[in-house]
């Protein structure tokens, strides 16, 4: 975005006398707008792979039906989208229809992108054709088993679950009268496609709700992705964002860290490639919008800090299940009071991830560790080491159970069998680029 002051200056001087310079400036500004939207849409998370040209695809997704790969979306004529017209590009983006007429796997979040305005599609098209370098890299063959390898049945899925762009745009546009809320709705429901992970899906893998007005299942927490459980982004007091302030949400999306917790798992990629690049005003709009989402689960009692566990640990009473393991392995950073040292070392007391119904994220963090990658605004990357080399399944179950019960947390106990199952499918500790941090 640094380019804008310069452009404004240059434009001011040359606008009257040099028509072409002005046209170039408009084009440059449009490309920049497209670059911004591509970040907001987190295209890189699926279409860029480390050490390969940007947006050249090849990221693999392991699904129950087999393995699929993201495509090359650089303007390369043969392997990329160089031959796409803007209309074809828009149709792929918003309706999931390839240039050849076949249907895209719904891993591409076209039910969300359906909301993109024509102007934003134009900016994205301009950016992907003129702001991105062409890379002649073929997309790997998908390894999807028959009958799922046939794309034509996907058409029915698309007909059933993918909204028509015009209707989708209308709907999102008119949900809120307030301009900031409307902007938030557009970003969250549209380009940022938060629901792709954070909304529950139905039997046909369709998102149960695509917008705030579709009901309280929207963003109410999704199914496991790459070993991580997307939490509810609604206002549940214990397992959602009920106790996060607007600034907490902004800080989280900007830096991956705030006074309530830190990013891990698949979300780090969304922050590193996507949300950290958004303007403060867009982030505030998204935060305001999320805060307006009433809880899906209305039966949660408010979380209140309970010092019982803290007092016991300070008296060296480690009789509770997992308490001694907690003191020996976790308390140095997360403290005996569970409050951690935010925003460096996250709190466990009252943390929505800790209290989630499904303990998979918490178990995986303990097993594999987690790296909070650097962002431009927060260059320090912090790494929690893995504990699987020290703790067996029973011990992980015990310490996780302690964490889920202490300090007012009230989530269910975890047993060794659950931990053993999760151990078989462990994600890398740094989901952003698979590498540990240099810090």
Residues forming contacts to other proteins in the complex (CB under 8 A) are 328-329, 332-333, 335, 341-345, 371, 374, 376-383, 385, 390, 436-439
Q: Which is nearer to other proteins, 329 or 367 (CB)?
A: 329
Q: Two tokens at 428?
A: 């890398």
β-partners of residue 66 are: 63, 144
Q: How far is the CB of 310 from other proteins (least distance, A)?
A: 15
Element spanning 359, H or E: none
Strand order in the sheet with 66-69: 60-63, 66-69, 143-144
Residue 431: which of 59, 107, 142 has the closest Cα?
59
Q: How far is the CB of 404 from other proteins (least distance, A)?
A: 21
Q: Which is nearer to other proteins, 68 or 388 (CB)?
A: 388
The end-to-end CA distance of the chain, in Å, is 27
Q: Which is nearer to other proteins, 378 or 426 (CB)?
A: 378
Q: How far is the CB of 416 from other proteins (least distance, A)?
A: 22
Q: How far is the CB of 37 from other proteins (least distance, A)?
A: 24
Q: How far is the CB of 5 from other proteins (least distance, A)?
A: 18
Q: How far is the CB of 266 from other proteins (least distance, A)?
A: 20
Q: Two tokens at 271?
A: 């922050």
Residue 155: which of 109, 98, 199 has the closest Cα?
98
Q: How far is the CB of 264 from other proteins (least distance, A)?
A: 14
Q: How far is the CB of 252 from other proteins (least distance, A)?
A: 15
Q: Which is nearer to other proteins, 77 or 377 (CB)?
A: 377
Look at the alpha carbons of 11, 75, 39, 171 in this order and tell me if their dihedral is positive or negative: positive
d(CA 360, CA 223): 11
At CA 273, angle to CA 183 and CA 180, rounded to 5? 10
Q: Which is nearer to other proteins, 246 or 328 (CB)?
A: 328
Q: How far is the CB of 435 from other proteins (least distance, A)?
A: 10
Q: How far is the CB of 371 from other proteins (least distance, A)?
A: 7
Look at the alpha carbons of 59, 422, 238, 218 in this order and tell me if their dihedral is positive or negative: positive
Q: Two tokens at 291?
A: 């805060």
Q: How far is the CB of 385 from other proteins (least distance, A)?
A: 4
Decide: 393 and 419 in contact? Cβ < 8 Å. yes
Residue 320: which of 255, 241, 403 has the closest Cα?
403
Q: Is the peptide bond prior to 147 cis by the omega test (within 30 degrees of 0)?
A: yes
Residue 405: which of 332, 319, 333, 328 has the closest Cα?
319
Q: Which is nearer to other proteins, 390 or 421 (CB)?
A: 390
Q: Two tokens at 148?
A: 């799922």
Q: Phi first, then psi: give them for residue 370, nearest 5 degrees.
A: -155, 145
Residue 402 region by backbone torsions, left for phi larger than 0, else alpha for psi between -120 and 50, else beta = alpha
Q: Which is nearer to other proteins, 262 or 418 (CB)?
A: 262
Q: Which is nearer to other proteins, 244 or 382 (CB)?
A: 382
Q: Which is nearer to other proteins, 91 or 364 (CB)?
A: 364
Q: Which is nearer to other proteins, 199 or 275 (CB)?
A: 275
> DSSP alpha helices (H): ranges in 51-103?
86-95
Decide: 300 and 251 in contact? Cβ < 8 Å. no
Q: Which is nearer to other proteins, 85 or 439 (CB)?
A: 439
């Amino acid at each position: 975005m640094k380019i804008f002051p310069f452009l404004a200056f240059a434009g001011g001087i040359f606008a009257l006398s040099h028509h072409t310079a002005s046209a170039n400036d408009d084009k440059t500004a449009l490309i920049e707008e497209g670059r911004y939207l591509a970040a907001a849409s987190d295209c890189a998370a699926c279409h860029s792979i480390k050490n390969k040209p940007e947006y050249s695809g090849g990221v693999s997704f392991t699904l129950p039906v087999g393995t699929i790969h993201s495509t090359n979306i650089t303007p390369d004529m043969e392997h990329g989208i160089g031959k796409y017209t803007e209309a074809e590009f828009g149709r792929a983006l918003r309706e999931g229809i390839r240039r050849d007429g076949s249907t895209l796997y719904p891993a591409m979040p076209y039910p969300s992108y359906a909301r993109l305005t024509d102007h934003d599609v134009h900016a994205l098209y301009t950016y992907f054709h003129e702001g991105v370098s062409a890379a002649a890299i073929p997309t790997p063959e998908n390894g999807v088993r028959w009958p799922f390898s046939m794309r034509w049945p996907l058409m029915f899925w698309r007909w059933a679950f993918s909204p028509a762009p015009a209707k989708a745009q209308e709907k999102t546009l008119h949900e809120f009268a307030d301009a900031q809320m409307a902007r938030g709705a557009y970003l969250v429901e549209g380009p940022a496609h938060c629901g792709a992970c954070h909304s529950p899906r139905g039997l046909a893998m369709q998102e149960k709700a695509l917008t705030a007005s579709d009901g309280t299942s929207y963003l109410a927490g999704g199914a496991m992705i790459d070993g991580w459980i997307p939490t509810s982004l609604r206002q549940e007091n214990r397992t959602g964002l009920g106790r996060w302030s607007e600034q907490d949400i902004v800080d989280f999306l900007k830096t991956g860290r705030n006074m309530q917790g830190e990013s891990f798992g698949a979300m780090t990629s969304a922050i590193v490639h996507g949300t950290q690049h958004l303007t403060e005003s867009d982030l505030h709009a998204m935060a305001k919008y999320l805060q307006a989402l009433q809880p899906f689960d209305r039966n949660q009692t408010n979380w209140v800090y309970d010092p019982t566990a803290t007092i016991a640990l300070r008296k060296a009473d480690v009789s509770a299940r997992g308490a001694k393991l907690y003191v020996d392995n976790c308390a140095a950073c997360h403290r005996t009071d569970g409050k951690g040292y935010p925003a460096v070392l996250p709190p466990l007391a009252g943390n929505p991830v800790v209290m989630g119904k499904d303990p998979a994220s918490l178990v995986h963090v303990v097993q594999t560790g987690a790296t909070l990658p650097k962002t431009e605004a927060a260059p320090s990357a912090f790494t929690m080491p893995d504990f699987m080399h020290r703790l067996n399944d029973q011990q992980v179950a015990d310490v996780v159970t302690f964490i889920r019960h202490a300090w007012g947390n009230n989530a269910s106990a975890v047993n060794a069998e659950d931990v053993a199952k999760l151990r078989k499918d462990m994600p890398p500790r740094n989901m952003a680029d698979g590498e540990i941090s240099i810090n």
